[in-house]
């Protein structure tokens, strides 16, 4: 479903990738897609869904710190403050639930997967673009998932889904994957991983708003307060200035009769 969006000749950048970049793509698929989903499923075996949701809601804070440090710069205060509000709002919307040590451990793994989905993609987003990156990591994740299924369940890893499961899989493929992943990486490309991850806090807000419509929950004062905190955090973090290009480092070069540009100053 993603390949038609890439267009004719759109896969050409793949031939220019280095082995290190291919390894990063494999790690991105393993951590941010396969590992994330397995961690959430494992966490919900012994924990209520709110528990991994709360941990995943902390992803904006981790990304707001990790990405700048990886690029050799300081975190932006507005983004960090906004991310903290988003995390607090996500917690307020979802609340806390029953859990045990295993549930918390797998929830931490889910947080690592959510962070990896953004952080690991940063160096390969520019050479591939949002559409090709989404298609490539989905293909790699499919292979990794199949391999994991064969290793754990043997020939029973794949079965024919029923009608309800088919509808759910189509929704996951068409909306969550094709639309969601492409829009996610398009946002990262335009505003950066730090500010884009702030919008992940809108996921529990959207779930809380739609819960009364499908009869799976109610929307009360806690959800309203949490939604306001998430909105305030996104608005605050989005006000942070876009990272500008570094200034050229200009120094005097004795004996050359002038100055020379020797590099870039971070």
Helix (H, G, I), strand (E, B) or coil at 92: helix
- Residue 97's pLDDT is 80
Residue whose C-alpha is closest to residue 184's, from 209, 206, 205, 203: 203
Q: Find tokens 């290793």 and name the residue.
A: 151
CA distance 225 to 26: 39
Q: Would you say residue 102 lies in a domain?
A: yes
Q: Which uninterrupted H or E stretch holds 250?
A: strand 248-253
Q: Give the confidence band of 33 by pLDDT, cuts at 50, 70, 90.
A: very high
Flag whether pLDDT at 49 surpasses 50: yes
**Residue 1 falls inside a structural domain:** no
Domain assignment present for 135: yes
Return the H-helix or E-strand segment holding 263: strand 258-264
Tell me how far apart the alpha carbons of residues 197 and 245 are, in angstroms, rounded to a whole number.
21
- For 214-257, the pLDDT digits (tens) are 776 778 898 899 999 999 999 999 888 766 444 344 444 444 44
Count of the separate structural domains present in the chain: 1
Paired with 261 in beta bridges are: 250
Q: Averaged over 165-180, what is the pLDDT?
A: 86
The answer to whether residue 204 sits within a structural domain is yes
User: Looking at residue 265, what is its pLDDT?
Assistant: 36
Q: Which domain holds residue 132?
A: 13-264
In a domain, 8, yes or no: no
pLDDT the model gives residue 171 = 87
């Amino acid at each position: 479903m993603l390949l038609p969006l890439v267009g004719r000749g759109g896969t050409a950048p793949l031939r220019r990738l280095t082995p290190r970049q291919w390894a990063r793509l494999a790690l991105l698929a393993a951590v941010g897609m396969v590992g994330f989903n397995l961690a959430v499923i494992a966490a919900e075996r012994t924990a209520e869904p709110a528990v991994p949701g709360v941990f995943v809601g902390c992803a904006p804070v981790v990304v707001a710190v990790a990405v700048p440090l990886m690029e050799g710069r300081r975190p932006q205060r507005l983004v960090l403050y906004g991310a903290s509000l988003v995390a607090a709002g996500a917690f307020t919307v979802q609340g806390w639930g029953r859990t045990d040590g295993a549930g918390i451990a797998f929830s931490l793994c889910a947080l690592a997967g959510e962070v990896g989905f953004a952080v690991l993609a940063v160096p390969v987003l520019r050479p591939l673009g949002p559409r090709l990156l989404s298609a490539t990591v989905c293909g790699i994740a499919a292979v990794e998932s199949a391999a994991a299924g064969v290793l754990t369940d043997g020939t029973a890893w794949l079965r024919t889904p029923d009608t309800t499961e088919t509808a759910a899989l189509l929704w996951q493929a068409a909306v969550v994957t094709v639309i969601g992943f492409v829009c996610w990486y398009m946002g990262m490309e335009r505003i950066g991983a730090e500010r884009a991850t702030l919008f992940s806090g809108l996921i529990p807000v959207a779930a809380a708003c739609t819960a009364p419509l499908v009869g799976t929950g109610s929307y009360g004062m806690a959800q309203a307060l949490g939604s306001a905190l998430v909105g305030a955090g996104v608005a605050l973090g989005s006000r942070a200035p876009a990272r500008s290009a570094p200034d050229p480092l200009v120094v005097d070069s004795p004996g050359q009769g002038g100055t020379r540009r020797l590099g870039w100053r971070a």
